[in-house]
Amino acid sequence: MRLDDLGARLSANADVFAALVVGVGDEQARWKPEPAQWSILEVVNHLADEEVDDFRTRLDLTLHRPKAEWPRIDPQKWAVERRYNERDLAESLARFLARRADNVTWLAGLQAPNWEQAHQHPRFGPIRAGDLMISWVAHDHIHIRQINRLHREYLVASLPGNSPEYAGKW
């Protein structure tokens, strides 16, 4: 896979997220296995905000103004301050999908991006544009796995006394 092809993966992943929340009701959308963990609704809102406040912004800066300071992000704080778990799942998903579509279009319009262009991060050191692009896709996969785990845990919590062990190891 080439870095220039990762926009197509981001687009395909958007379809995966949409499929993962089909049929999820309000109770399940807001359910958390533990108070400190995120719900499906919080994950979807996190994804939507990351599209604007993190990956695209930081990739754009790295490609076009690598010495510019990156805006600060605080996803854990945003989940509380922005009241992610009080929002509507359908609206949250639509917001994510619209932002993702805009970003995929933006990526497709980049003219010969220099994936080696780097930003000097104070904690991580140099982060190349290619590193950000791979991280954007990897971030999707982390949250795809997280939503799948939340589905499984909700299933088990909703049907006490039943076991999914027959399905195989998780």
Distance CA 59, CA 147 (A): 26
Report which secondary-structure segment, H or E, holds 128.
Answer: strand 125-128
Identify whether the C-beta of residue 7 lies closer than 8 Å to the C-beta of residue 104.
yes
Identify whether the C-beta of residue 40 lies closer than 8 Å to the C-beta of residue 21.
yes
Is CATH 1.20.120.450 correct for 3-167?
A: yes
Domain ranges of the chain: 3-167
Q: How far, in Å, are 43, 75, 127 from residue 68 at the CA level?
A: 29, 21, 13
pLDDT tens readout for residues 9-49: 999 999 999 999 999 999 999 999 999 999 999 999 999 99
pLDDT tens readout for residues 97-129: 999 999 999 999 999 999 999 999 988 999 999
Read off the DSSP letter of residue 121.
E
* pTM (two decimals): 0.95
